[in-house]
A and B are shown apart, each in its own frame.
Chain A
Amino acid sequence: MVKTVADLEKALSAPNDSLIFIESIMDPFDAPTAVINSGNNGADLDYGPRGPRHRDNMLLRPAT
């Protein structure tokens, strides 16, 4: 598994003469803002104005 940028770069430099499997460890709350926004917008669409997501800390939101 790879945990750092250096680990990943080492894995990417391997010759592609067989199947390559790279498992990258990342934080569960780390996601691009665009992806987070798409999820938040989907929740609005799914649950409507009185949906459960409005309770405290119920969904991952973009960093402010």
Chain B
Amino acid sequence: MDVGDDNYQAVTLTEVLRGVADAVPQVTNRGTRHVAAAAAAAGNHADGSAKLTKASYWQAIQGYIRSGDVLVAEDGTSYASLGLQLPPDCTFVAQVIWGSIGYSVGSLRGTLTAAPDRRHLLFVGDGSFQLTAQEVSTMLRHDYKPVIFLINNGGYTIERCWLGKTARYNDVANWAYADLPKVFRPDTRRGRSW
């Protein structure tokens, strides 16, 4: 393992993490960093007619989360959910380090199966959702009741931060997302869509 110009041999990850934990000051008042800052920048939405922005979106989500929720966060701009302040007994599921887009929809199906008595929230963008959307069919078949928050912003916004701000390869087709519950399970009225 290299740290600057120094090389350390036979170091375990446990030892590294212990060293990092000892070196970094403990944070006792972790707040809604991204969310609070974004909300402040969003201005006043008192009349509710303002166009939805990421700032106002995450501000509303912050107010929606309750104790005991399971939050599943997709890669990309859904990373912003890392800035939420979670009430007690919440569980946060993510896999930032692998950058494996689409994983979160299947992961939600897994958390629903593992803890059916808890409320489950999925935060996913359109680009990632299109890779694994069919898992919603399985959720409906099992009568699961997750809350799926899908951001439709026309493609891979996180990739636009990397390269190709306006490139077509960062766009995706615009699905009729809100119709999917009816598509996946037309024999029932299960599922509310907006």
Contact = CB atoms under 8 A, between A and B. Distances in A.
Interface of A: 1-12, 14, 16-36, 38-40, 42-43, 46-47, 52-53, 57-61
Contacts of B147: 16, 20, 22
Given A21-B150, A21-B192, A58-B164, A7 B145 contact: no
A36 B161 contact: yes
Interface of B: 33-34, 37-38, 45, 47-58, 60, 63-64, 76-77, 79-80, 83, 119, 136, 139-140, 144-155, 157-166, 177-178, 180-181, 189-194
Contacts of B57: 8, 24, 26
Contacts of B139: 19
Q: Which of B140, B148, B162, B180 has the most CB of A within 10 A?
A: B162
Nearest to A34: B34
Contacts of A34: 33-34, 79-80, 83
B164 to A, nearest CB: 7
Given A19-B145, A26-B52, A8 B157 contact: no
Majority secondary structure, A binding face: mixed
Contacts of B158: 31, 35, 39
Contacts of A1: 152, 177-178, 194
Contacts of A11: 194
Contact of A4 (B48, B145, B151): B48
A29 B64 CA distance: 25
